[in-house]
Amino acid sequence: MSRRSRLFVSTQVKDWGKSPLSRVPDTVPLPTVIGEAAFGGYYAGIIDTTQSGAIDAADDYQTPLRYLLIVAPLSLESSSQAWRSTSATVSGASTRWNGLAAQNALASATYPAFNYCNGLTFPSDGGSKWYLPALDELELIYRNFKPTTDNNTTGTRSLGTFPAVNWSNGANKASDPTGAAYTTTVPARTSLSDWQSGGAQALAAGFYWSATWRGSTTAWAQSFDSGYQSSGTQTAASRVRPVRRVVL
């Protein structure tokens, strides 16, 4: 069965890190199984903001995309990066889903987490450069690669300047399939041994930065033990796990 017939997608993708338009060679299969090695990392799922209601009305980026999300190997993770070197209101990071666009807007020494990802070498394979995942992208990684057996955080997230509306912890309209609000037991710990705590690729049981701005002194982060989506002080050091995208 051909790659096109298996996934019902074109092989043409936008290479945001290099030329405006590139093509993944037909000899390079697109991944179909969560955790499958692909594009320099591991397949983490699909982001699809072409779905109705997937993009927040206040999001900086309103042009929808459907793409494979690729999470970096543990070797590319940074254990200590500030989101911004001095807290401030910023432009270009009010986005729940478009971490790549936020990084293109902010990557500089002033934004260490973005700058770290922006400086990583990436394969010339038609995918994007490595970037800091936005909140919905980071949530999809937690949902599919949860490392612990801890109960998930439930209930509504605290409000921020962005987004300025309440929604349930874990709810993710940008993923395909759409992510439902967490229960104490769903999502469960991943069945992939390499991604369970102590495994070769496992995410740490602590907070990771997203690319999503929250308020004048804060940005959004997610805990990878309970999935808690919360604010972090921009100048605080936290973990960073980069991602890439392959547009479908």
**Distance of alpha carbon 104 from alpha carbon 118, whole angstroms:** 8
Q: pLDDT over 70 for what percent of the chain?
A: 89
Categorize the per-residue pLDDT at 26 as very low, low, confident or very high, splitting at 50, 70 and 90: low
Total number of domains in the chain: 1
What is the predicted pLDDT for the residue at 105?
97
Tell me which residue of 65, 17, 76, 90 sits closest to 41, measured CA to CA.
Answer: 76
| 49 has pLDDT over 80 | yes
- Enumerate the β-bridge partners of residue 175: 47
Q: In angstroms, what CA-CA distances link 74 with 103, 186, 248?
A: 20, 24, 25
pLDDT for residue 24: 62
pLDDT tens digits along 136-168: 999 999 999 999 999 999 999 888 999 998 889
Q: Which pLDDT score is estimated for 167?
A: 86
- Residue 10, φ and ψ in degrees, nearest 5: -75, 155
State which residues form the domain around 39: 3-247
Q: Is the dihedral of CA 98, 37, 4, 24 positive or negative?
A: positive
The CA-CA-CA angle for residues 51, 227, 83, to 5°, reads: 85
